[in-house]
Chain A
Amino acid sequence: MKVSIKTYNPPKLPQRFLRWYCKPELLEDIEGDIHEDFNKRYIRSGARSARLYYILDVIRFFRPFTIRNFMKTQIINPMFKINTRIAFRNLAKNKLYSFINITGLAIGIAACLIIAHYVIFQLSFDRFHENAESVYRVNTTTYQNEEYVGTGIYCGHALAPALKRDVPEISKYSRVHPEYGGAIMNRVIDGEDSEPFREQNIIYVEPAFLEMFTIDFLQGDPATALDDVNSLLISESMAKKYFGDEANNALGQFIKASGSWGNGTLEVTGIFKDYPANSHLDFDFLKPISKVVEQNNYAEEGTNWGWTNFFMYAQLGENVSQDIAGEKIADLMHTYTPEDLESTSQRVVLTLQPITDIHLKSDVDDGDGEIADTKSINSVYFMILIAGFILIIAWINFINLSTAKATERGLEVGIKKAIGAHRSQLISQFLTESFWINFIAISLALGFTYLLLPILGNTIGEPLNLQLGHPVVLGGIVGLVFIGPLLAGVYPAFVLSSFKTVSALKGNQSIKMKYQFSIRKGLVVFQFVISTLLIAGTFTVSKQIDFMRNGDTGFNRSEVLVIKGPSIGVTRAKFDVFKNSMLSFPGVENMGTSRSVPGAGYNFATSGRNALAEKSTEQRIEVTWVDPDFIHTYDLELIAGRDFSDAIEDGPNGALVSAFSVEAFNLGTPEEAIGKRILISEDTVFVRGVIEDHNWQSLHRAYMPSALLHIPATVRYMSIRINPQNAQSVIQEAEKQFMDVFPGNPLEYYFMDDFFNRQYEDDQQFGKIFNAFAGFAIFAACLGLFGLASYSVVQKAKEIGIRKVLGASSSHITMLFSKRYMILVVVANLIAIPLSYFAMKQWLSDYAFSIPITIDLFILPILLLAIIATVTIMMQTVRASMANPVKNLRAE
């Protein structure tokens, strides 16, 4: 026998961990050894070292041979089978609750899966490029007098070669030049022109572009495809469009292009697979940039930096970090064009933006005509938030309905406990039940997702399909199968299994139930807070969209037919013929032409200032050329001065500036401004007239200084104000005249209001998605309320019977039972109002012109929700109050 030595206690937590994971047959041995060692070390080297080694030992024993098999115990366990059988019996017994439970969950999960697909799609932008990690776009951020002016993507064509020369970190670059204004294209067979089409998605790129971006070539050799100045690469679907059945032999065929930048007969040197939708770029045709740089006066002095029509992508060499290269390029504009920048006291910073960031995190200001497909990352976060909300609502339903069933299950629990069931066994029974409900719900949800995804895809105009194989989706599903039942099932399982045997058998649960009910109430309130938030949100979004679509923009955009002008064989004489014949047609009230129209952007943005002011006061000014009839066609109101009706054909005609510009350039009152001079792009222009402020572009944007300059006539855009009754005949007449006067040009026309509102497509999409998911959430919440109400009515059937026997009226009983739920809805609303106020304010702050937040934005959602909730509850309570009391009282 050993002498009893003093023993010490090892740390508790690692000990418990060991006991948890270790195989029972090995535990005593291992634990004993470690403990003995602990004691020795304690005496030898002190408590700290002993504890540390104890922890280390416990961790080091976490090996395959010591860990007991957790999975095996669950599956082999015959209880799992029995519990499964009990679970299905219970589901079959309470069909209504099972239905509500499972559908509610399925809807929640489906909403999550759908949103997951949407989010994955948004995050996948430009990641398919092999060089996605090393290709950057060069952005330009401008400061004036150290004040932020804006960030843009446009630069002169000299920038790219200069950067390549000065920054060795840049291994490849490609300038990109869009075909501004599009081009008319037609196939040429044996010198004959085929049917022409107008194409917008054309860009001019360097041969290196094909190496930097991943483009799948079907035919042609990417290495040489863009070498010839008259080469043309077309997408697969464009090959079908132009060559039909001969699409497979399109290589080497000819297409004639007539646009503003690179005309001529071009040879098809490559056909590429349609460029994927999940890229910020969108093009159907690629042309060599040499075509654009060699023509179009780009060779002239001063155009190399000043004509900022290009943007630039750079690929960094291997192992070059964005920071190093970014630092090097930041101030290079000041080495290239120091005088220009100094004289305007501007500071320009060049930055590299990863192409994978462009779609969601573009830091380019909207105003700079970003041609990329961009979305705010916030809308993605927002979707994730909504998905989370819906899932939580569904889980709350599950919890509420399960605990509501508690009294019924109480007897079962009591009997099981009385014959010796452990609490852990009961918990595993309820968790098994929860597992099966979740499992069925997920299977259903997959079905819903499969059916609904294409619909969402249609709404956002992108291809969306069920991607079960995607790691995120797969992970989500697996996670939901295991975590869902635990999250939603743990609380009910613990509540149900906690009943005291005797009181459960007696059915005496009143004290306990009261406590539970308050948690349930809390959860219902939470559901309705979310519902109110979402309804108020839906309401605000649709009102704002409505406001933008129909709101006052300062010009009259209804009943204006816009014809996109011809570009082949245009002469002034032909134009006059067309205009006169249109004007003489009954139903045509006016016709104006311009180089751009509202909603299509301005012609160019440049610097402007008061001629008397310092150069440092320069501001961005947006300029558009219009003919004398333009402002009458659009009912633009002249505040002061003259319009262009008495303008001379060639001479200084001055500018019509907006009231906002008068203020911005410090020109005094509109009347005082007349005749004063402003400098636009350093050219002196006098103010001829002042027109009312108008939204040339969407209401997202605030007013900017803008000016309309005179042009005698143009065919770029022809706007015709028509009499609404004759709309159809005017279109027919326009078509006939157009074909007669400008043969060989495709006719493209639209109505101004439709065209202008196309700017809100993104907002409308957002609105639609938001509506749909708010609907999901409200439906799920009501489903839960319905279940709860119906359950409490069943429970209180006797009480209702007794009340009726004693003389209570049906309406009285209905009121009595509805009241408690109505209170919950009211409480929920009280919480939701301030929350939704802040949410609305936040969302509306994105819009320069927005609706005011008024009280009706809250009242309507609340009323709506109250009505939905009332109807849901009434459906149950009315039925109960109408029932024959004898029926309920007799049953025992």
Chain B
Amino acid sequence: MKGTYLGEFQEIVLLTIIVLNENAYGVTIQDEIEKRTNRTVSRGALHTALTRLDEKGFITSIYGGATSERGGRRKRYYQVTNLGKQALQEARSIRDELWSQVPKFAFQNI
């Protein structure tokens, strides 16, 4: 399978979608990430990431109802697929494993 690798930003996006649960669409995802990570996220970058995640099959989307604040356009709600969740788990376990190997004294003097 092509590119199951999960980039750092993509991982954040996936997690954010899970955190937002039912209310995950473009604007809210962006806001949430900005709020939590304290960094500005460009909308283009976010959509690039969403498109890539979609291509990898990590997320699916369904259209919600049209709202007037979007000029009559529908919201596209994202959901993390099982494959996506699996990828998150994998990424996490790799990390955990690495953390467990880190010698304690490495962080003593920070």
Contacts and interface: CB of A to CB of B under 8 A. Distances in A.
A36 interface: yes
A201 to B, nearest CB: 64
Given A26-B47, A57-B43, A63-B44, A33 B27 contact: yes
Interface stretch (A4-12, A211-219, A481-489, A692-700): A4-12
B42 A5 contact: no
A185 B12 CA distance: 86
A33 B71 contact: no
B73 interface: yes
A51 to B, nearest CB: 14
B70 interface: yes
A28 B71 contact: no
A32 B47 CA distance: 12
A665 to B, nearest CB: 81
Contact of B27 (A10, A36, A61): A36
Chain A contact residues: helix, strand, loop or mixed: helix
B68 A4 contact: yes
A34 B43 contact: yes
A28 B27 contact: no
Contacts of A380: none
B93 interface: no
Given A60-B44, A65-B51, A29 B71 contact: no
Chain B contact residues: helix, strand, loop or mixed: helix
A30 B48 CA distance: 11
Given A28-B73, A33-B27, A37-B27, A60 B42 contact: yes
A31 B43 contact: no
B68 A35 contact: no
A66 interface: yes
Contacts of A4: 68
Residue from the set B30, B69, B75 with the largest chain A CB neighbour count within 10 Å = B69
A29 B76 contact: yes
Interface residues of A, number: 25
A347 B84 CA distance: 85
A26 B51 contact: yes
B74 interface: yes
B69 A39 contact: yes
Given A7-B68, A33-B27, A63 B48 contact: yes
A72 interface: no
Nearest to A8: B71
B75 A32 contact: yes
Contacts of B42: 60
A32 B76 contact: yes
Residue from the set B47, B71, B76 with the largest chain A CB neighbour count within 10 Å = B71
A40 B34 CA distance: 16
A5 B68 contact: yes
A95 interface: no
Interface string A15-41: 000000000001011111111110110
Residue from the set A28, A33, A57 with the largest chain B CB neighbour count within 10 Å = A33
B67 interface: yes
Contacts of A66: 44, 47
Interface string A123-148: 00000000000000000000000000
B76 A60 contact: no
A789 to B, nearest CB: 57
A32 B61 CA distance: 15
A196 B61 CA distance: 93
Contacts of B69: 2, 5, 7, 35-36, 39
A794 B47 CA distance: 61
A37 B29 CA distance: 12
Interface in B18-58: 25-27, 30, 42-44, 47-48, 51
A348 to B, nearest CB: 63
Contacts of A33: 25-27, 30, 43, 47, 70
B68 A32 contact: no
Contacts of A2: 67, 69
A31 B72 CA distance: 10
A29 B30 CA distance: 14
A90 B107 CA distance: 81
A323 to B, nearest CB: 44
A28 B48 contact: no
B50 to A, nearest CB: 8
B96 to A, nearest CB: 33
Nearest to A30: B47
Contact of B71 (A5, A30, A35, A57): A35
B73 A31 contact: yes
Interface in B65-91: 67-71, 73-76
A26 B69 CA distance: 19
Contacts of A32: 26, 70-71, 73-76
B45 to A, nearest CB: 9
A564 B70 CA distance: 93
Contacts of B75: 32
Interface string A68-89: 0000000000000000000000
Contacts of B44: 57, 60-61, 63, 66
B21 to A, nearest CB: 18
Contacts of B70: 32-33, 35-36, 39
A35 B30 CA distance: 14
Nearest to A1: B65
Nearest to A60: B44
A292 to B, nearest CB: 70
Contacts of B67: 2
Interface string A503-528: 00000000000000000000000000
Contacts of B76: 28-29, 32
Interface string A482-498: 00000000000000000
A713 B36 CA distance: 105
Interface string A42-73: 00000000000000010011010110000000
A37 B67 CA distance: 13
B43 A29 contact: no
Contacts of A7: 68-69, 71
A50 to B, nearest CB: 13
A339 B24 CA distance: 90
A341 B69 CA distance: 83
25 contacts: A4-B68, A5-B68, A5-B69, A7-B69, A26-B51, A28-B76, A29-B76, A30-B26, A32-B26, A32-B70, A32-B71, A32-B74, A32-B76, A33-B26, A33-B30, A33-B47, A33-B70, A34-B43, A35-B73, A39-B70, A60-B43, A60-B44, A61-B43, A63-B48, A65-B51
Interface of A: 2, 4-5, 7, 9-10, 26, 28-37, 39-40, 57, 60-61, 63, 65-66
Given A35-B71, A65-B48, 4 more contacts: A28-B63, A29-B26, A35-B69, A65-B51
